Structure 1
């Protein structure tokens, strides 16, 4: 019997003991949620209230909420449909690190469902402390009444890479840009250099950027890298260059007509995309006389449900989840992605 048929047969007879825990960062959904959300994000880190006030005002500048929770609900419904198409009968429970529904309640719900074996999918495609290990800690601290397996960072999944290429290809095919006067930059959340050195973060970002360059080169363009949304102690080295500085540098080297920004580090148009790119980076580009194009995140219409389904099918069939990630190491080291002594003091990303 082929493995896929064996997997479907196992799924049909496994009963209600397996489930999927969908984990994300959480986000405020109303202006009155912003303060308690921010206070939860930075709890115990000694972030001054005036710093939080700046972030609070940034949320208000982009409408007073974030679309992240709504996007997760949409993706979960699409994943349920993908499960149905693959003959997977598996409950999906949604939990967040920093806002309702919180991971503690999600774990309790899984207990009420009688789950004894759970696959954990975190909406962060890249490995780092905040993007991977901290989600492990979120589950561990609840003392869950089940065994669990976390989906590894999935930026190297072929569907993810193909979706990123398609976003850029669709844009370039419909816009007549002069390569001599166009700056194309892929951005991701900056993290402390010490954290990056203890994870696969930069290597995974480079893999996605290489996939984009397969498209860009056919138009005489090169996709460069930059980071955004750094926070914390200014004395702590973080990954550079900042996207605004990268735009300024490109403009100092040649006359820019167009800046094309691809937020590869984010799955959704949440706060740090809408403020740090759509407002701040746009201002930097326009101040240099260039049009600013911010391409879409893979988000609502991308392949995330299919990616989750691929991992779920492999998990149900007892296959190594990393077999779906050709470029990833065979196993986590167990010591990677540690916080070290350079934990971010404020971040509102995660998906």
Structure 2
């Protein structure tokens, strides 16, 4: 049992997330952090911030990360895994650099990183690694010795990530009226990204039409749909669709958009739709606004019954999955044989992002990868 729960050589886990405003005065400064370097005027940021102002200027993501932080600490303690857990964000307090500084001063030298993004993509993986490199550079500039940071693999096909989503879809189906439930369509949603970024997501050998980003989401959607069928006895038709597009209209992004998809399904005579946000770890602003507000309003205009299933959040099974990923990676670092836990056709993702994986628009150093300057 001690071998199973041994985290050596790691001495801490960092929960790394996006961050979000926690009051009206935070919204524009937060958006300035997110868009830094793009030259977007403050007035435009105020317009974009209306989504947040509808909810009092508060994104739920920080509270949800606090809940996940507590779930991880509880799970680790209950299973004898002696690994302190810290939390840092890319774009709002607690900031990543501040958290890493605290970890160094607490004596931690070898850190595992869990990002709140389950899939391969530039914005969902490499950009976090670039932010890690920036933070480590900042510590070095302060005269501190940066810790070694290793990122946990993508967990989109781990049972502890999939099972809560299956439960959420089943619960949403049960909440539909009896006469439309069995004919309901499943719309699996994720964040739209530029097609160029999708095509180059994942290792070089995965590059192509949609890259690893689309393939991983399709495999997750299929696994969730199969799980729903196993629990309900009904084979619901499904499709992967996209939401939260934010780019210039002339740049191709992944489609179809969820609202367009609802119109198309309604025109095709589908009696109901369950929207399942498989691309998101928690019910943060893009779920609350783009699905619960905008897409639900579109369905209301159409007279189409819809439900939105829950994200994984701080589900104990997800916390247990993280413990499993920690155990797996630590054993591999010690040179021990491991049997990674992964369902579906794609198997377990790589532990170390290879050179050329999810390339940046402009070359920048990135930590926790084969090309890391912090090996």
Pairwise CA distance, 1:90: 1.4
Are residue 116 (structure 1) and residue 109 (structure 2) matched?
yes
In 2, the alpha carbon distance for the partners of 1:320 and 1:137 equals 30
In 2, the alpha carbon distance for the partners of 1:338 and 1:265 equals 20
> Which segment drifts farther, 156-165 or 129-138?
156-165
1:324 to 341, 364, 371: 341
In 1, the alpha carbon distance for the partners of 2:348 and 2:99 equals 29
Tell me which residue corresponds to 1:6: 3
Unaligned 5+ segments in structure 1 are 342-351
* Cα distance change, pair 86–221 in 1 and its aligned pair in 2 (3 A): same
Pairwise CA distance, 1:241: 0.3
> Which segment drifts farther, 155-164 or 332-341?
332-341
Unaligned 5+ segments in structure 2 are 140-145, 202-211, 363-375
In 1, the alpha carbon distance for the partners of 2:192 and 2:338 equals 27
Secondary structure of the residue aligned to 1:313 is: helix
Is 1:212–1:223's contact at 8 Å kept on the other side of the alignment?
Answer: no
Are residue 45 (structure 1) and residue 65 (structure 2) matched?
no
Is 1:311–1:321's contact at 8 Å kept on the other side of the alignment?
Answer: no
Tell me which residue corresponds to 1:187: 189
Is 1:161–1:208's contact at 8 Å kept on the other side of the alignment?
Answer: yes
Is 2:18–2:91's contact at 8 Å kept on the other side of the alignment?
Answer: yes
Pairwise CA distance, 1:96: 0.2
In 2, the alpha carbon distance for the partners of 1:229 and 1:340 equals 20
Are residue 128 (structure 1) and residue 129 (structure 2) matched?
no
The Cα RMSD (Å) is: 2.2
Tell me which residue corresponds to 2:296: 282
Counting matched residue pairs gives 333
> Which segment drifts farther, 139-148 or 261-270?
139-148
Pairwise CA distance, 1:280: 0.9
Pairwise CA distance, 1:174: 5.1
Is 1:25–1:99's contact at 8 Å kept on the other side of the alignment?
Answer: yes
Residues 150-205 of structure 1 show CA distances to partners (whole Å, capped at 9, x for unaligned) of: 01221011221222222222333454253685332110000010111111211111
Tell me which residue corresponds to 1:298: 312
* Cα distance change, pair 96–329 in 1 and its aligned pair in 2 (3 A): closer
1:249 to 248, 257, 264: 264
> Which segment drifts farther, 51-60 or 242-251?
51-60
Moved over 6 A (4+): none
Secondary structure of the residue aligned to 1:247 is: helix
Pairwise CA distance, 1:134: 1.0
Tell me which residue corresponds to 1:209: 221
* Cα distance change, pair 322–64 in 1 and its aligned pair in 2 (3 A): farther
Is 1:163–1:302's contact at 8 Å kept on the other side of the alignment?
Answer: no
Tell me which residue corresponds to 2:253: 238
